Amino acid sequence: MSKTKGGSGSGPGKPTLQRKKGTTTTTGRLLEVRVKTARGRKTSSTSWLHRQLNDPYVLEAKQRGLRSRAAFKLMEMDERVGLLKPGQKVVDLGAAPGGWTQIAVDRVKSAEPGGGTVVGLDILEWEPVAGATCLTMDFLDPTAPARLKEALGGKADVVLSDMAAPTTGHPNTDHLRIMALLEVAWAFAEEVLAPGGSFLCKVFQGGTENELLDRMKQTCTSVRHVKPPASRKDSAEMYVIAQGFRGKAEG
């Protein structure tokens, strides 16, 4: 997928904005777009819209035909630790709207003859991504793991999860919710990962609970927390990356 590749001189972690009349200065710097408060629009909505309109990752994602700015997070983490390789089998949990799925398809070459396999799943309706099997269902549905395994057609080399439970605004509750998803995602990864496989999952600051982190360390050669540059500085999100899977832990 050529759309996932930057132009000359642009790296995956540092979007290079094209200069367009009315959007940049003569030096190429992005001009700030101001958003007026509209009747009926909440202040929080105005702030979100302002941030979106002035986010270089959002603009670059549109220019490259990527479905979300989150695609850059996966690109940056992949460049850092080498997750995705041609011919691999990849599962993408919490895939909608498909930004990570697009990157996975591009890097494992699943749209090409003899390439890898990408299976994405989300509870939300999402448009299919060429080169991937796209499922719309709840990952917590008891039948979901079997559906994913059937579509995958064998052990996975990489399990990705950008799943996140709806936030309540209560830090402790939100942490428990994201940890519950992480527990289920890791349990699935233990079942489906091939030896040497990798697992990447979103967490929030407060980190991964020690018990789960210890389980990962017992079964993987490398476990680390990462905050990619594309993750907004004011966001509490982080990612845990476990590589070198050795097999499901006993007990």
The pLDDT of 149-171, averaged and rounded, is: 90
**Tokens in use for 46?**
């105005």
β-pair partners for 225: 240
- Position with higher pLDDT, 18 vs 137: 137
Ranges for all domains in the chain classified under CATH 3.40.50.150: 70-245
In this structure, what are the phi and psi dihedrals at residue 58, rounded to the nearest 5 degrees? -65, -45
* pLDDT at 211 (0 to 100): 83
Strands 156-161 vs 133-136: parallel, antiparallel or unpaired = unpaired
Average pLDDT, the chain: 81
* pLDDT at 21 (0 to 100): 34
Active site residues: 202
C-alpha distance across the termini of the chain, in Å: 43
Neighbours of 4 (CB within 10 A): 18
Q: What is the maximum span of the chain, computed from C-alpha positions, in angstroms?
A: 63
- Position with higher pLDDT, 237 vs 184: 184
Which residues, including other chains, have CB under 8 Å from residue 42's CB and lie 6 or more apart?
none
Secondary structure class of 177 (helix, strand, coil): helix
The pLDDT of 170-190, averaged and rounded, is: 87
Q: Is the Cβ–Cβ distance between 196 and 245 less than 8 Å?
A: yes
User: For residue 220, what are the CA distances in angstroms to 191, 204, 223, 241, 243?
Assistant: 14, 21, 7, 10, 6
Task: State yes or no: pLDDT of 103 exceeds 80.
Answer: yes
Neighbours of 165 (CB within 10 A): 13
Q: Which of 20-24, 157-161, 175-179, 187-191 has the lowest mean pLDDT?
A: 20-24
pLDDT band at 210 (very low <50, low <70, confident <90, very high): confident
153 by Cβ neighbours in 10 Å (0-12 / 13-18 / 19+) ranks as exposed
Q: What is the CATH number assigned to the segment(s) 70-245? A: 3.40.50.150
Secondary structure class of 169 (helix, strand, coil): coil
Secondary structure class of 79 (helix, strand, coil): helix
